[in-house]
Amino acid sequence: MIEFALVAPLLILMLLGGLEVAHTMYVRSALVGALQKAARDISLEGASAGARQDAIAASVADAVHQIIPGASVTLGSKSYRDYRNVADPAEEYNDANHNGRCDHGEAFVDSNRNGKWDLDGSVNGRGNARDVVLLIATVSYTRLGLTTLLAAAPRTVLTAKTLIRNQPNDQQADPPTGTCP
């Protein structure tokens, strides 16, 4: 009996930790699945971009709220001209003097059409035809039961990202070029 009294707290702690990890994995898989479905929906032509974005945010939130009713869910999107721009978001430029900076009248491609060279050439929102859209969903919720007392942070924050290219329902316009100051 004494042995069980010594081992029981450790077993209970391991059980609670295992349940917390399993629950977090379940919420994450539901979030990723809802986000991927949203990505497929956002690429389709149809309603206005604002209405579509609101509907997609609501569908992701509904999927998460079925598991955790009190969770905070946010959905954001950025669009890029091409997949490689997601990995390296700096606008392309011709580094004529090989100093690693856009300067001294070097030509650059103004991907976000703001008239200046940027380290991040993305545009907030869904973008245009053939643009690559990066969807980012973030869920924040209070941990389960006693693990709230044992954890360093009382809330769990999960983030899921996915990429999809908009339907080529129109030709993608070439971005303007500019010169670096």
Q: What element of type H or E holds 21?
A: helix 2-42
Structure tokens given for 63: 């999927």
Q: What element of type H or E holds 57?
A: helix 49-65
What pLDDT is stored for residue 157 in this prediction?
94
Residue 19: Cβ within 10 Å count: 14
What pLDDT is stored for residue 22 in this prediction?
92
Enter the pTM of the model: 0.77
What pLDDT is stored for residue 72 in this prediction?
95
Over residues 24-45, the pLDDT tens digits come to: 999 999 999 999 988 887 766 5
